[in-house]
Amino acid sequence: MSGNSFGKLFTLTTFGESHGPALGAVVDGCPPGLALSEEDLQFDLDRRKPGQSRYTTQRREADQVRILSGVFEGKTTGTPIGLLIENTDQRSKDYSKIKDQFRPAHADYTYHHKYGVRDYRGGGRSSARETAMRVAAGAIAKKYLRERYGIEVRGYLSQLGPIAIESVDWDQISENPFFCPDATKVAEMETYMQALAKEGNSVGAKISVVASGVQPGLGEPIFDRLDADIAHALMSINAVKGVEIGAGFDSVAQKGTEHRDELTPEGFTSNNAGGILGGISSGQDIVAHLALKPTSSLRVPGRSIDVQGEPVEVITTGRHDPCVGIRATPIAEAMLALVLMDHSLRHRAQNADVRVDTPVIPAQS
Amino acid sequence: MSGNSFGKLFTLTTFGESHGPALGAVVDGCPPGLALSEEDLQFDLDRRKPGQSRYTTQRREADQVRILSGVFEGKTTGTPIGLLIENTDQRSKDYSKIKDQFRPAHADYTYHHKYGVRDYRGGGRSSARETAMRVAAGAIAKKYLRERYGIEVRGYLSQLGPIAIESVDWDQISENPFFCPDATKVAEMETYMQALAKEGNSVGAKISVVASGVQPGLGEPIFDRLDADIAHALMSINAVKGVEIGAGFDSVAQKGTEHRDELTPEGFTSNNAGGILGGISSGQDIVAHLALKPTSSLRVPGRSIDVQGEPVEVITTGRHDPCVGIRATPIAEAMLALVLMDHSLRHRAQNADVRVDTPVIPAQS
Amino acid sequence: MSGNSFGKLFTLTTFGESHGPALGAVVDGCPPGLALSEEDLQFDLDRRKPGQSRYTTQRREADQVRILSGVFEGKTTGTPIGLLIENTDQRSKDYSKIKDQFRPAHADYTYHHKYGVRDYRGGGRSSARETAMRVAAGAIAKKYLRERYGIEVRGYLSQLGPIAIESVDWDQISENPFFCPDATKVAEMETYMQALAKEGNSVGAKISVVASGVQPGLGEPIFDRLDADIAHALMSINAVKGVEIGAGFDSVAQKGTEHRDELTPEGFTSNNAGGILGGISSGQDIVAHLALKPTSSLRVPGRSIDVQGEPVEVITTGRHDPCVGIRATPIAEAMLALVLMDHSLRHRAQNADVRVDTPVIPAQS
Amino acid sequence: MSGNSFGKLFTLTTFGESHGPALGAVVDGCPPGLALSEEDLQFDLDRRKPGQSRYTTQRREADQVRILSGVFEGKTTGTPIGLLIENTDQRSKDYSKIKDQFRPAHADYTYHHKYGVRDYRGGGRSSARETAMRVAAGAIAKKYLRERYGIEVRGYLSQLGPIAIESVDWDQISENPFFCPDATKVAEMETYMQALAKEGNSVGAKISVVASGVQPGLGEPIFDRLDADIAHALMSINAVKGVEIGAGFDSVAQKGTEHRDELTPEGFTSNNAGGILGGISSGQDIVAHLALKPTSSLRVPGRSIDVQGEPVEVITTGRHDPCVGIRATPIAEAMLALVLMDHSLRHRAQNADVRVDTPVIPAQS
């Protein structure tokens, strides 16, 4: 396919199937001299890994990552970083039933038609299990961005099915299994998820990611605009159906006087732009939202066809997340970090000599 | 910047500023043997070009395109196609006032900080004038897709500020200056735009694009998924702040049983997926929506700073579209066509040998 | 560095250091449906692996490759193929002496200045050990090219130091440790190598690679010409200092009437072009030659400097090939196969519809 | 084809045919702030342009280049630079005779088979006329390298057919029509070329290019090594059949003690490496040689076939260079400059933070 690499200067290439022996990745383009250990990667991997609560898949994977190259005496050397996670808890026989069937809303049908062959065990390559490697690579980017530029990339669940958050308290996010920043909504979410599990159904979610501390200047118009690359990155995550920057779809009904973020020496007066103007970071927080569809593997029977084109009723009994959005926060953070890392390197390649006297105004007044 | 190319096998590279001598492009990777003339490109260019109605900028540009290479005796030769449009109606002195000021919500501030220098005349490279070349290149892709694969790419305005359409009649789109497919809304839009012009204000819009006749199989997971590349393409258009595929942000509140498009031998029962599953086309119509923010150049004064960082009041008096969304339909069509063209070539490169017996089910039951 | 990927549609990305835990690679873009097992890769890996004769390094590596993804039920699935070889016979302490010294003609000095840090054990990333992964990936390309197109890629040693071959008997190549196709030269080579070993010195070599059965049409002018990509591929092999296509440097003194390969219905009358005209394959055998410099790690003392810039005398006592050219034949074959594979996919992407009535003339009359 | 772009961060994309209306190019990735005018490009264009002496083609082209974008008030802005040269002296009817024939050693046969259609007028896209755009873009790179890094890229003719130079006097190169640095050989070359013209024959040549002032560190192993990218660049020039770095093919017969360039605090003791070790610049002069085959368009009749596959006798009567090598020096310089420019940007992207205490030793002792 040759579509398994992301980034131009800081490049992530991944491989591996849900029920194969291992997942792996190569991170190419990491500057030398960054202190890096497996623990640095494990933190985010543990945030994403399955089986952490009753609201995610019960598959048990340690998701223990090994660094196979590119680090010497505790520091990156500038050579490619090889990463490996062994799969340990496959139950491939769960999937023999759907071997010849296409789950509605799943990649089964399209992989079958594209490749003529598919690894049906756990979704094969189309499984969200692949995102573990994005999280591992994203952790490298996050660390570099933090240490070199003071950029912080964070995210949260902003809506779970019908339940939208009403406030953001960054300290709450790690206190509940939903990455929910609004403590007042957690109980409601728990109740909702329990009812959903009983039903054998699934639901969608909305995630928000924010990068703060970003200097003005990142982004390479006109096609490799920062917002375009963020949209690419976030839409490449399994189950994502929509991406917004800043005010997003609210911009449609806004007037110019309402949308525009005015500039004052004390800061911007608002952030409808989501930190990006003309495809280039403005120095405000970069804010993006993504919509995730409900999981397609359901216990509720659905109509479909089999490989002969005959109608069948499909029921999925493997272990699945009833809401893929719940574990998506660290993945979205990782993808945003990868984009910012790549653009930080690209920016300094071409604009290393630029000196600007105009003061950078604060993110927000 | 080296971010001015789009596509991997069917590649568009553009150059040119709003008030420079010309806009140009290179389309590389077009298969040989396609009948192609300047008229084929002019049709969509004329749909996009300014000054067509009182609701768009009054700048008068013929936008007459010349093909400088890659076509011999009326057919493409497989060599790169050079395109050129001369600028004829620049009024650069309109911009001398904002030379040292940053218009709120405009790329002025970010270009200044990124490059240390900016061509302030008409927005320079950040102007939407650049999209003329996307439309010209998109017309080549559209023609190839239509003739070789029977794929049709079309679009329409689905919302203008607060006015949302309620139905889609493809025949209406060319009958009004808004690309509006709902005849019952046109008068309302006209009234709205006239009031807006009087105010000196601007407004956002929502555009929808649809590709029909797409075979299953286009898209290269996991990063070069079809939806990810569409998101990149659409978000790279000036003023776009959000992109949705199919149900988009509505997916957030949907349950799995509601969202999933069931498969029957007679067709899919719905199209929440927007024609893409697992990052690969399913054979259903590909449907995407994009949110465009209101134009940032306003006659209503706004607060900003100048290059010394001092507070100023900014008023823009050049010729501008009060709603950039009005002319955005052909641009969005062009970008979708470019993505589909690129993925059609990529797909046949790698899957030329695939033979699948399973029948392709119809787009919709 | 982000320079560790090769190919546009059939892409090889490698990682791993000489004395790290493992070498790995991702092969992305392999078409689905190719029967593939670890044995298919092992054959060429065994031809390249160290310790096969007294004329190569005595490091003992099984070079046993594992396929971690991309193959299901014995066939490629079109998803990325992850490959891994564990390192087993590192003796890193051999290198402590040169930790702070730069071996003349070695990458020590340049890696030090580029990255500010280097893994000195066995040359780290700059070691030719990395080429094992090229050979593994090349074996996949070779198999596809053979089965799908009838293309055969083969190579031989054409000169060892001062000893040039005088004839090519393809059956002889596997009968001696030098990949020498001229049986009459083998004894001379053995004697030469023994004397060299006694001296503690090293010597250069010349390798030739040939692809037969290539259809006309591969190559994407004007920059991604087939010959340009072959030059890139072969020059990227450690120690290579020169690349020729066909008559190569002999072309300099040739007249046009002498150089040109005339076309007759029975075939081309000669092959000075080396099978490539205008950057595109002509249907003749593709022939390339490469010059490899002598190994830089010598027991004969040499002058150099240390990391403080002070003069030192360097002696290298690790295990090294006295002539890196001896094991280079399978590596050169692999690189040529990777280029042809990539261009086969690229060609069919863009020229799938081309129908030509002109008969393809035979490779040689 | 989508093979008409070169470079990763400093990217050149070209278009145009020998007898089309114009040649054009886009240079993307040029840092902002470089003073640049059309005169800066014209100097090298004039060195390459045809009709400068009786030893090159008599086609008269002014090769006057226009800068269409990317420069504002005399300085680059960081946006893509569009370049255009109109063709003025086409005589397409000269070529009607060879419309259905394939000139031996020419791209006629391979373009025909690849694309099914070819612009036979003056060789169309396969003509060396395309190299004008490389020279224009190379002039931008040369200027930046000189002003920012003190790098100087120069070249000369080192052999014309059988006549090899014996010494290099940089001041002589502009004093004769051959770019010959050895004044004692010029008369011999003139006599040789006159005899060749009488014969209606052509001859090969060897060109050498040198970059001095290059800092250590350029090059991105293991595939985007500096030498590999130089090989790609030089082999992509029309008619080139071989590329050497430093000692090149002489390395084959060298022993390690002979080849290695020892390091002393006063400098390297020799330069067999041609300034590149492990794929990375060492700080010595970068030295490359290229072999150009004789022109394939001859007045001496040759055997070939026509588009029906029937045998024909081919005579070419258009205006051609009897030795393409004569005008190749500025082209080779341009390609080397493009590679160094691209790698300078890549290097600072990833190694901006590297600080090395070890002194850089002088280029040569």
Secondary structure (H, E, C), D258-290: HHCCCEECCEECCCCCCCEECCEECCCCEEEEE
The predicted model gives B307-332 an average pLDDT of 90
Using left for φ > 0, alpha for ψ between -120 and 50, and beta otherwise, residue A20 falls in beta
- CA A165, chain centre distance (Å): 20
Q: How confident is the model at residue A49 (pLDDT cuts 50, 70, 90)?
A: confident
Per-residue pLDDT tens digits for C336-361 = 999 999 999 999 999 999 999 999 99
CB D347 within 8 A of CB C298: no
Residue C208 pairs in a beta bridge with C156, C289
Question: Is A363 domain-assigned?
Answer: no
Total length of chain B: 365
Which of D32, D221, D349 comes nearest A354 by C-beta?
A: D32
Distance from CA of D130 to the nearest CA of C (A): 9
Residue D1 has pLDDT above 60, yes or no: no
The reported pLDDT for the residue numbered D123 is 86
CATH number (domain holding residue D26) = 3.60.150.10
Q: Mean pLDDT across the stretch A296-312?
A: 93
Best CA proximity match to C295, nearest among C267, C316, C312 = C316
Residue C32 forms part of a structural domain: no
Report how far residue B288's alpha carbon sits from residue B294's, in angstroms, rounded to the nearest whole number: 20
D338/chain B closest Cα distance in angstroms:
14
Percentage of the residues of chain D whose pLDDT score is greater than 70:
99
Residue B362 lies in a domain: no
Q: Structural domain of residue C249, as residue ranges?
A: 91-351
DSSP assignment of B2-33 equals: ---EE-SSSEEEEE--TTSSEEEEEEE-PPTT
Q: Is D187 helix (H, G, I), strand (E, B) or coil?
A: helix
Q: How far is D156 from chain B (nearest CA, A)?
A: 31
Q: Which of B345, B351, B352 sits opposite C350 (nearest CB)?
A: B345
Chains linked to B by 3 or more Cβ pairs within 8 Å: A, C, D
Domain count along chain B: 1
Residue D358 lies in a domain: no
Is the Cβ pair A116, B356 closer than 8 Å?
Answer: yes
**Alpha-helical regions (H) of C21-94:** 38-48
Q: How far is CA D316 from the centre of its chain?
A: 25
Would the pLDDT of D155 be above 80? yes
User: What's the whole-number average pLDDT of chain B?
Assistant: 94
pLDDT tens digits, D232-252? 999 999 999 999 999 999 999
Residue B269 has pLDDT above 60, yes or no: yes
Q: Is residue B318's pLDDT more than 90?
A: no
* Residue A53 confidence (pLDDT): 83
Mean pLDDT of C12-22: 95
| Neighboring chain D residues of C161 at a CB cutoff of 8 Å | 252-253, 255
Q: Average pLDDT for residues D157-184, to the nearest whole number?
A: 97
Q: How, if at all, do strands A81-86 and A71-72 pair?
A: unpaired
The rounded distance, in Å, linking the Cα atoms of D351 and D361 is 20
- Residue B361: how many CA atoms within 13 Å on its side-chain side? 27
**Going by C-beta distance under 8 Å and a sequence separation of 6 or more, which residues neighbour residue B47?**
B135, B329, B330
| pLDDT of amino acid A365 | 65
Per-residue pLDDT band for A105 (boundaries 50, 70, 90) equals: very high
pLDDT above 60 (res D39): yes
Q: Average pLDDT in the C222-243 region?
A: 98
Distance from CA of D289 to the nearest CA of C (A): 9
Question: What average pLDDT is seen over chain D?
Answer: 94
How far apart are alpha carbons C51 and D208 in whole angstroms? 40
Would you say residue D318 lies in a domain? Answer: yes
What are the angstrom distances between the C-alpha of A81 and each of C83, C315, D347? Answer: 15, 31, 18
The answer to pTM > 0.90 is yes
CB–CB of D29 and B79 under 8 A? Answer: no
> Are B15 and D66 an interchain contact pair (Cβ–Cβ within 8 Å)?
no
Instruction: Determine whether the annotation assigns residue B146 to a binding site.
Output: no
Q: B79–D124: do the CB atoms touch at under 8 Å? A: yes
**Beta strand D205-212 pairing with B71-72:** unpaired
Is pLDDT at D17 greater than 90 in this prediction? Answer: yes
Q: Does residue A359 lie within any of the structural domains?
A: no
Q: Report the C-alpha gap between C177 and D342 in whole angstroms.
A: 41
pLDDT band at B365 (very low <50, low <70, confident <90, very high): low
DSSP D94: G
CB B27 within 8 A of CB B40: no
One-character DSSP codes across D315-335: ---S---S-GGGG-HHHHHHH
Test B353 with C29 for CB contact under 8 angstroms.
no
User: Is D360 inside a domain boundary?
Assistant: no
At B281-299, the pLDDT tens digits run 999 999 999 999 999 989 9
Which residues in chain B touch residue A251, judged by CB atoms under 8 angstroms apart? 204, 241-242, 291-294
Per DSSP, helices labelled H in C174-307 are 186-199, 226-235, 256-259
* pLDDT higher than threshold 60 for residue A20: yes
Q: Which residue of C20, C21, C28 is in closest CB contact with A4?
A: C28
What CA–CA distance (Å, rounded) separates A150 from C99? 34
D neighbours by CB contacts (3+ pairs under 8 Å): A, B, C
User: Is C140 within a domain?
Assistant: yes
pLDDT reported for residue C56: 81
Instruction: Of B128-137, C50-59, C123-132, give the lowest mean pLDDT range.
Output: C50-59
At residue A98, the pLDDT reads 80
Q: Specify the 3-state DSSP secondary structure of B72.
A: strand
User: What is the value of ipTM here, to two decimals?
Assistant: 0.97
Compute the nearest-CA separation of C96 from chain D (Å).
Answer: 19
- Contact at 8 Å (CB) between B183 and B168? no
Predicted pLDDT of residue A118 = 85
Averaged pLDDT, D48-76: 88
Query: According to the model, what pLDDT value does residue B135 have?
Result: 98
Of C81, C35, C80, C88, the closest CA to residue C64 belongs to C88
Please report which confidence band the pLDDT of residue C55 belongs to, taking 50, 70 and 90 as the band edges: confident
Query: d(Cα B333, Cα B337) in Å, to the nearest integer?
Result: 6
Residue C99 pLDDT class (50, 70, 90 cuts): confident
Alpha helices in B200-244 (DSSP H): 226-235
Check CB contact under 8 Å for D77 and B117.
yes
Tokens representing D76 are 């680059």
Q: Is B311 annotated as a binding residue?
A: no
